[in-house]
Amino acid sequence: MPESHRRTRSKGYGAISATRESRPAGERTKVVSRTGPHRSESVRLAVLNAADDLLVERGFAALTIEGIAQRAGVAKQTIYRWWKSKVDILLDTLTDDARDALQWHPAEGDSAEEALSAHLRRVSDFFEEPAGRVLQALLGHAQLDEDTAKSLRAGFLKDQRALDTAGLREVLAREDVTVDDSGLDLLVDMMLGPLYYRALLFGSPIDKGLVDTTARVTLALARELSAARS
């Protein structure tokens, strides 16, 4: 099955696309039922689409398996066959949607600062997308539910941290800046902390000034750490 794109929304910094099919709001994904040990891809997409649509419309507290099943056009028992809870569905939704949106795609020829700023703009756009709302909801729920916190940290957050570390290392190499693993950990915190702070604590848009300043400060610290190793 060819991969399709679910949503694309331009925010002035370039479009972000996720990994599920685009469709008019409220329209169901066509479901093809299939019995057996493997879940139908059309059922999976219908459930994931329904989950993040309803999250945006109603919020985390009002999101229910019953509501997801009704919107997706599948039986509730079908959902429980593959997911234990709405949190598990949202975790799958987040992983799917972030796969492309939060990848690093540094343009050839860009300076380290330009490449880092471009990636941070992708992150800022992500927080405006339905997938970003899913991440915010899961992070909020994780403060109250230890199982959610463990699943989020051991899965999506761990994998994304590895991608961010590798991506930053590649960008720094454009200026022959090298830092050790502990330095990279610090730089990833510096790089993403202001964006998460703005989006999660205040719910405010992440403006271009914050993005560009964060990129500049992160690179300045990277250069200091690299010089200290010489």
Cα–Cα distance measured from residue 216 to residue 98, given in angstroms and rounded to the nearest whole number = 25
pLDDT of 11-65, one tens digit each? 333 333 334 544 444 444 444 333 344 568 999 999 999 999 999 999 999 999 9
Taking CA atoms, 215 is separated from 46, 139, 192, in Å, by 38, 24, 10
Residue of 2, 3, 91, 9 whose CA lies nearest to 47: 91
Instruction: State the pLDDT at residue 158.
Output: 96
pLDDT of 165-179, one tens digit each? 999 999 999 999 999
Taking CA atoms, 176 is separated from 35, 221, 226, 227, in Å, by 55, 14, 9, 11
Neighbour tally for 57: CB within 10 Å: 14
pLDDT of 56-92, one tens digit each? 999 999 999 999 999 999 999 999 999 999 999 999 9
Average pLDDT for the chain: 86
**CB distance 19 to 45 below 8 Å:** no
Instruction: State the pLDDT at residue 101.
Output: 93
Is this structure's pTM higher than 0.75? yes
What are the sequence ranges of the domains in the chain?
8-96, 108-229
So what's the architecture of 8-96 in CATH?
Orthogonal Bundle (1.10)
pLDDT of 93-135, one tens digit each? 999 999 889 999 999 999 999 999 999 999 999 999 999 999 9
Work out the pLDDT band at 1, boundaries 50, 70, 90: very low
So what's the architecture of 108-229 in CATH?
Orthogonal Bundle (1.10)
